[in-house]
């Protein structure tokens, strides 16, 4: 059983190892931290931590480094989130101000998070699967090409040019717009996906336009499928190469996961959050996803389609309190931006 002082020694080892990247010895703990006991007493505490597999000797050096289990105890019981500084908060606010659309907002979110943490930043898009279609617009670009625009109440916007199999005029566009709008406006994305397949009609105008309506139904169906897909946006992949020495093994699985996205989406979705909406997944806990070398910290953010997550991925030797504080601050600002945007619609 680890004593209270033993846990404080663990805290000191994690903090010093993250700061210096050097294995931590009892002598340096006595010098850097005010424990008020001898190096021999600290060595006894370290022996106990080692018995509990919370620290380990990386090689013949007398110093110790935290294990993944040690980081987990630190994050769960010892880490105190440091509030962001005024300049850091200002940076988030100015960086995320006045985005042109949701894609721009999400891209800015991961860029500011990677700048704050020096890690790979990840953000799940809000889920549009439960969103509803609020507006559909058809704009004639030429006699046989129309721009299809769809907007959801969760901020999702889709624009797609559809080449048509026959020439149409403005009156035809109005007829088709009215038919499509009546069919899917105000419907959830999942319901709209089913309803759009019934697009058509028995009257003469609809019969003549049926080939064009069939084309539009196929295009809209594809765009609705896009709305239902989970998406991830990332920034800072180059930081992995710069931090390669922080990883015990190869960074290739991480680079593959960044390219694939599916693994990271699953991992981000399955992480369990605490009562503050914060989640961490450390080292070997990520082994089922092939990412046993990495740690991920994340924070929930509120979006019109439900909760989603924003966070960072990096080596297990990361500054968990600072990274969690940054993820939480960015998540809160993102929630506020999306709430304001939703109320503006």
Instruction: Please name each of the domains of the chain with its CATH number.
Output: 4-78 (1.10.10.10), 86-127+231-344 (3.30.450.40), 133-228 (3.30.390)
pLDDT digits (tens, 9 = 90+) for 103-155: 899 999 999 999 999 999 999 987 776 778 999 999 999 999 999 999 888 77
Question: What is the tens place of the pLDDT at every residue in 145-167?
Answer: 999 999 888 777 889 999 999 99
Q: Which residues share a beta bridge with 172?
A: none
What was the pLDDT predicted at 203? 64
In percent, the amount of the chain with pLDDT more than 90 equals: 52
pLDDT band at 60 (very low <50, low <70, confident <90, very high): low
pLDDT band at 79 (very low <50, low <70, confident <90, very high): confident
Q: Which residues contact 38 (CB under 8 A, 6 or more apart)?
A: 30
pLDDT above 50: residue 263: yes
Residues with Cβ within 8 Å of 125's Cβ and at least 6 positions away in sequence, in order, are: 102, 106, 230, 231, 232, 233, 308
| Per-residue pLDDT tens digits for 271-283 | 988 888 899 999 9
Helix, strand, or coil here: 152? strand
Q: What is the structure's pLDDT at 61?
A: 67
Q: What is the structure's pLDDT at 204?
A: 62
How confident is the model at residue 237, as a pLDDT? 87
pLDDT band at 78, cuts 50/70/90? confident
User: Does the pLDDT at position 205 exceed 80?
Assistant: no
Q: pTM above 0.85?
A: no
Separation between Cα atoms, residue 246 and residue 283, nearest integer Å: 12
More confident residue, 89 or 60: 89
DSSP secondary structure letters along 86-110: HHHHHHHHHHHSS-SSHHHHHHHHH
Q: Mind listing the pLDDT tens digit for each residue in 178-190? A: 999 999 999 988 8
Pick the closest to residue 105 from 52, 156, 169, 32 (CA basis).
Answer: 156
Tokens of 70: 């040690």
């Amino acid at each position: 059983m680890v004593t209270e002082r033993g846990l404080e020694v663990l805290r000191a080892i994690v903090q010093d190892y993250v700061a210096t990247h050097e294995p931590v010895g009892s002598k340096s703990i006595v010098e850097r931290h005010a424990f008020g006991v001898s190096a021999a007493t600290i060595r006894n505490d370290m022996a106990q931590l080692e018995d509990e597999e919370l620290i380990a000797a990386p090689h013949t050096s007398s110093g110790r480094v935290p294990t993944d289990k040690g980081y987990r105890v630190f994050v769960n019981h010892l880490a105190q989130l440091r509030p962001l500084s005024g300049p850091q908060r200002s940076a988030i606010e100015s960086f995320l101000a006045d985005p042109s659309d949701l894609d721009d907002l999400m891209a800015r979110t991961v860029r500011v998070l990677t700048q704050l943490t020096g890690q790979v930043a990840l953000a799940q898009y809000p889920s549009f699967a439960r969103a509803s279609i609020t507006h559909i617009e058809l704009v004639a670009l030429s006699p046989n090409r129309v721009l299809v625009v769809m907007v959801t109440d969760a901020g999702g916007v889709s624009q797609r040019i559809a080449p048509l199999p026959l020439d149409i005029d403005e009156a035809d566009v109005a007829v088709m717009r009215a038919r499509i709008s009546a069919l899917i406006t105000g419907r959830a994305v999942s319901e709209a996906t089913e309803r759009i397949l019934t697009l058509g009609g028995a009257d003469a105008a609809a019969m003549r336009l049926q080939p064009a309506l069939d084309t539009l139904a196929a295009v809209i169906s594809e765009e609705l499928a896009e709305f239902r897909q989970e998406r991830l946006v990332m920034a800072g992949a180059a930081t992995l190469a710069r931090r390669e020495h922080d990883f015990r093994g190869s960074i290739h699985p991480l680079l593959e996961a960044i390219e694939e996205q599916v693994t990271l989406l699953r991992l981000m979705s399955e992480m369990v959050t605490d009562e503050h909406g914060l989640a961490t997944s450390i080292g070997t806990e990520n082994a089922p996803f092939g990412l046993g070398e990495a740690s991920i910290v994340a924070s929930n953010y509120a979006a019109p389609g439900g909760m989603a997550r924003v966070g960072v991925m990096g080596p297990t030797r990361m500054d968990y309190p600072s990274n969690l504080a940054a993820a939480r601050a960015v998540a809160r600002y993102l929630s506020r931006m999306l709430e304001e945007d939703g109320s503006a619609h």
